[in-house]
Amino acid sequence: MWKGNSPGCNQGAAMEGTGGELGGQGNWGLEDAPGLLARASLPIMPAWPLPLASSALTLLLGALTSLFLWYCYRLGSQDMQALGAGSRAGAVSGRPGGCSEAGRPSPRSSGESVEGPRVEGLVSRRLRAYARRYSWAGMGRVRRAAQGSPGPGGGPGVLGIQRPGLLFLPDLPSAPFVPRDAQRHDVELLESSFPAILRDFGAVSWDFSGTTPLPRGWSPPLAPGCYQLLLYQAGRCQPSNCRRCPGAYRALRGLRSFMSANTFGNAGFSVLLPGARLEGRCGPTNARVRCHLGLKIPPGCELVVGGEPQCWAEGHCLLVDDSFLHTVAHNGSPEDGPRVVFIVDLWHPNVAGAERQALDFVFAPDP
């Protein structure tokens, strides 16, 4: 067996010089290798005492927990500062708010919010509840809207003619009238259902004289000479009216973008008698588009939205952004008869699916 200190080998002396550290002896061989390896694997620096390591880990976890709690506090405080000091209790009304037709009117006609920070606070709280249950993904615009994002250009609206009363969703393309192609499927479905919807109106129509009690299903007039029968009101189905209008109800069930589960969503017949007029007002939000299907359009009827005049046509749809200031009038003679349109609230085509789901959660109809 070869020995590390064999004669004539200078390396043996070197090994012997370090033998006190590695093996404790100057002479060693292959049979000593396991012990040498075990000693060499020992740490050069002594390990921390166990109590000291435990204390350091506890301090680190405590610091991380404190940092996380501080971050959560900062997020909450920033939200509350954005909402204002008055964002306490309140409730989102089931009314569409500021709607001129196919919905009950709000106390305001200009579209200015009378709820103020109170509504903003409730919307923000409901949105946070939605995010905790699902996700914040894709909620940038909705979050800004919940925090009271100003209208286009930093003011209440474009030149003061777009003033949604409850919710302004930023960065949506704004125009008083929306192209038909933006909601092609729903427009074509409603127009193809025109005969059935017109028959349903004939089944529930009356003389609109105002001298007799309102027939079953008809709402009190929004203004003198303005009547409506709703199949959906503020996102809630009206079962008795839907049963009386099976053709219209079937068409509503086939729509892809109908706001059927949202307090901003309404659908039904709107009747305007000769001489009646609905003065300028704004709807509650720019997240919807109102689809008007003309059923009976006598001469002298006009619709002005954002300063742009338009007129209905029987059997054809007109898409309107009613967050713009708009006026409706029937300037015809009594012999012309009433103007009748079927109105459906659709989602604005540029509101994404995730945003629709969140807004349906925030503005869900009251149970």
State the CATH number of the domain containing residue 223. 2.60.120.330
Residue at 10 is within a domain? no
Condensed to tens digits (0 to 9), the pLDDT of residues 196-210 reads 999 999 999 998 877
**Residue 111: its pLDDT value, please?**
36
Residue at 93 is within a domain? no
Q: Looking at the predicted structure, is the pLDDT value of residue 19 above 70?
A: no
Q: Which helix (H) or strand (E) holds 244?
A: helix 239-244
**Residue 10: its pLDDT value, please?**
43
**What percent of the chain stands above pLDDT 90?**
52
Q: Is 204 exposed, middle or buried (0-12, 13-18, 19+ CB in 10 A)?
A: middle
Q: Looking at the predicted structure, is the pLDDT value of residue 35 above 80?
A: no
Condensed to tens digits (0 to 9), the pLDDT of residues 84-129 reads 333 333 333 333 333 345 444 343 333 334 445 566 688 889 999 9
Q: Which residues make Cβ contacts (< 8 Å) with residue 109, sequence separation at least 6?
A: 98, 279, 280, 281
Residue at 61 is within a domain? no
Number of domains in the chain: 1
Q: Which domain holds residue 279?
A: 180-206+217-363
Residue at 308 is within a domain? yes
**Residue 147: its pLDDT value, please?**
83
Q: What string of DSSP letters covers 173-236?
A: ---SEE-GGGGHHHHHHHHHTHHHHHHHHHHH-----SSSPPPTTEEEEEETTEEEEEEEETTE
Residue at 225 is within a domain? yes
Residue at 325 is within a domain? yes
Do the bridges between strand 226-233 and strand 218-223 make them parallel or antiparallel, or are there none, so unpaired?
antiparallel
A 10 A CB-CB count for 139 gives 20
- Of 72-86, 180-194, 314-328, 346-360, give the lowest mean pLDDT range: 72-86
Q: Looking at the predicted structure, is the pLDDT value of residue 189 above 90?
A: yes
Q: What is the pTM assigned to this prediction? A: 0.69
Residue at 259 is within a domain? yes
Average pLDDT taken over every residue of the chain: 78
Structure confidence at residue 268 as a pLDDT band (50, 70, 90): very high
Residue at 84 is within a domain? no
